Structure 1
Amino acid sequence: MAIYHLSAKVISRAGGRSSVAAAAYRSGGRLRDARQGREHDYSRKGGVVHSEIMAPANAPEWMRDRDQLWNAVEAVEKRRDAQLAREIELALPRELDRESRLELLRGFVEREFVGRGMIADVAVHEGKARDGHGQPHAHVMLSMRELIGEGFGKKDRSWNAPDLLVGWREAWARDANRALERAGRSERIDHRSLDVQRAEAARQAERARESRQDDLELEHEKKVVELSREPEPKIGPSAYAQEKRGIATERGDAFRAAQARNAQRQEMGWRQLELRLELRERGRAFVASARERLGQLWERAEGAMSRIKERVMGEVERPQGRDGDGRDERGDLDQRRAAVLGREVAAPEQQRPNAGQERAAPEAPDQDRRNAILGRHRDTGQERGSGRDRDRDRER
């Protein structure tokens, strides 16, 4: 798996360091520090496969000599805590051959550093990683002062901008991935933090799950498990040398503890992934079985309804009439159909026995009410006869 690593640090005199000693160690050569009056010899150091100095076109020729370059840097810096050089350390893709890695490195250094006016002292190391495979990486020491004529001028503070380092990290990932693509390799590197990469892989797995892309979902889920780790601390050259001699160091212990936690986290992640996949498959099998049973029940129900409709329609098409008891067969059929279909049929309206006969209207009560109000009595035949008799008696 391709590994991303790009770090930047400053080589400072405040820590008792020397740019001449650092250049000698990284290049695997022998240099004399004129300021300290010491010689630094690392010519027997193994693992250095390439070293060179890359400088802008306007740089004087003497600056391409490693010994003169860094002794000039030591001479121009007067402060006891002076910043002498910036070092960029980056991992080279082991998936590329040596020539391809060197071509990739040169292109990156030329564009990002030399193109801005820096002088770059480049050294390529090939060590052995913890997994037993090669661990190619590069050390790039950079000057921090601008070039003026035949020497150094003021320090360029713009080279210290944090955004510039972010741009270098992004550019290295982009260049390395393009080189891997040209070489026909599928591996890629990512300059972002583990947390950001893990969150993105989880979102991609969720989108694949929603679109029912099982293979793509599994690929992203595996990536989530692989990224569920904490950064492992760097041991450093001194501690690493002691560890190789069998001497346990504090940095070595911290590194091994982080490795153990990551191994435990990875094992738990793989188990959880296997469990989720098993539960998902079981759930899908259950849903498929339930759908099949429901489909069979639905077919049976449809068949029963079809038979009922055929029987009802057959009865409807038979000749209709009255039976021996005088009942209407049509009415009985409607009731049976309503019972089968779960409907209500209004009962036929029965005719009343006295239907059609007019009822005699009662006498209008209007005259009686008027008489009662006016104090009159109803003029009946008897009352009219009694009145005539009284009239005759008066006449007599």
Structure 2
Amino acid sequence: MAAPKWLCITLVRAYVKDNFVDKGMCADFAIHDKGTGNPHVHIMLTLRPLKENGQWGAKCRKAYDLDENGQRIPDGKGGWKNHRADTSDWNDKGNVEISWAAWAAYTNRSLESAGRPERIYHRSYKRQGIDKIPSVHLGTAVSQMEKRGIRTDKGAVNRQIAADNKLLKEIKARITRLYRWSKAETENHKRSKAA
């Protein structure tokens, strides 16, 4: 059962406000749900801060490179060595991880409140410690073709990955059973020796 559209809008609006707007960003979002099993949201953010007077600030500035004494370093052309420095940390790659983690938390709270068992995770299988091969992203066109029964190369890759993951799960289960059996046999052997 899909979540009501108003709930999705409320969730996205709260996430955007709390994670971007409250930090001073201008944000816009669009929810796309064509009923094809791929609902998603696009969030557009600015990298330019707003100044106190309501004008747009610069997204970057020139910063001079300094030597060990804190002095500007000549560039050999009559100027100074410099680099571009962002005026905010909004474009820092570390913020992506924070944003994804926040989205997972917001979504999971909503799923829990709605009594739904599903949960989302912002980390890859590997980072979650799950020994599972991730599938490849199909995209809209390939997904539609697969739903109509048209087999595609990407679909074939995902079918093979699903089969490999099933086999991997079965092998792990067998190993676990063998380990438990071996442990039980060792304990039985110790007990019979002690008796």
| Structure 1 match to 2:134 | 230
Decide whether aligned partners of structure 1 residues 117 and 240 sit closer, same or farther in structure 2, where only a CA change above 3 A counts: farther
Task: Give the letter aligned to residue 233 of structure 1.
Answer: H
| Structure 1 match to 2:20 | 113
In the alignment, structure 1 residue 154 sits paired with structure 2 residue 58: yes
Decide whether aligned partners of structure 1 residues 128 and 276 sit closer, same or farther in structure 2, where only a CA change above 3 A counts: farther
Q: What are the residue-to-residue correspondences of 1:1-396 with 2, within 5 Å? A: 96-128=3-35, 134-147=37-50, 152-155=56-59, 157=86, 158=88, 159-197=90-128, 199=129, 224=130, 227-235=131-139, 239-240=141-142, 243=145, 253=153, 255-280=154-179, 282-283=181-182, 286-287=185-186, 290=189, 294=192, 298=195
Shift of the alpha carbon at 1:257? 4.5
Decide whether aligned partners of structure 1 residues 186 and 240 sit closer, same or farther in structure 2, where only a CA change above 3 A counts: closer
Shift of the alpha carbon at 1:140? 1.6
TM-score relative to the length of structure 1:
0.35
| CA contact 1:232–1:259 (8 Å) conserved in 2 | yes
State the 4+ residue runs in structure 1 displaced beyond 6 angstroms.
none
Task: Give the letter aligned to residue 113 of structure 1.
Answer: F
Deviation track 1:44-72 (CA, whole Å, cap 9, x = no partner) reads: xxxxxxxxxxxxxxxxxxxxxxxxxxxxx
| CA contact 1:96–1:180 (8 Å) conserved in 2 | no
Deviation track 1:208-253 (CA, whole Å, cap 9, x = no partner) reads: xxxxxxxxxxxxxxxx4xx511351353x5x559958x8x9xxx63
| CA contact 2:138–2:155 (8 Å) conserved in 1 | no
Shift of the alpha carbon at 1:280? 3.9
Deviation track 1:240-282 (CA, whole Å, cap 9, x = no partner) reads: 59958x8x9xxx63x3253134123212212203322442454
| CA contact 2:47–2:91 (8 Å) conserved in 1 | no
| CA contact 1:176–1:189 (8 Å) conserved in 2 | yes
Decide whether aligned partners of structure 1 residues 280 and 121 sit closer, same or farther in structure 2, where only a CA change above 3 A counts: same
Deviation track 1:351-388 (CA, whole Å, cap 9, x = no partner) reads: xxxxxxxxxxxxxxxxxxxxxxxxxxxxxxxxxxxxxx
| Higher mean C-alpha displacement, 281-290 vs 173-182 | 281-290
| CA contact 1:230–1:258 (8 Å) conserved in 2 | no
| CA contact 2:49–2:56 (8 Å) conserved in 1 | yes
Deviation track 1:309-345 (CA, whole Å, cap 9, x = no partner) reads: xxxxxxxxxxxxxxxxxxxxxxxxxxxxxxxxxxxxx
Cα distance in 2, alignment partners of residues 185 and 267 from structure 1: 25
Return 5+ residue gaps in structure 2 as ranges. 61-85
Task: Give the letter aligned to residue 15 of structure 2.
Answer: F
Decide whether aligned partners of structure 1 residues 271 and 147 sit closer, same or farther in structure 2, where only a CA change above 3 A counts: same
TM-score relative to the length of structure 2:
0.64
Decide whether aligned partners of structure 1 residues 278 and 145 sit closer, same or farther in structure 2, where only a CA change above 3 A counts: closer
| Structure 2 match to 1:62 | none
Decide whether aligned partners of structure 1 residues 287 and 166 sit closer, same or farther in structure 2, where only a CA change above 3 A counts: closer
Shift of the alpha carbon at 1:181? 2.9
Return 5+ residue gaps in structure 1 as ranges. 1-93, 200-223, 299-396
Shift of the alpha carbon at 1:104? 1.6
Shift of the alpha carbon at 1:108? 0.8
Task: Give the letter aligned to residue 137 of structure 1.
Answer: H
> What is the RMSD computed on CA atoms of the aligned residues?
3.5
Number of aligned positions between the proteins:
164
- The higher radius of gyration belongs to 1
Cα distance in 2, alignment partners of residues 170 and 194 from structure 1: 14
Task: Give the letter aligned to residue 175 of structure 2.
Answer: R
Cα distance in 2, alignment partners of residues 151 and 106 from structure 1: 25
- Secondary structure in 2 matching 1:123: strand
Deviation track 1:18-55 (CA, whole Å, cap 9, x = no partner) reads: xxxxxxxxxxxxxxxxxxxxxxxxxxxxxxxxxxxxxx
Greater helix content = 1
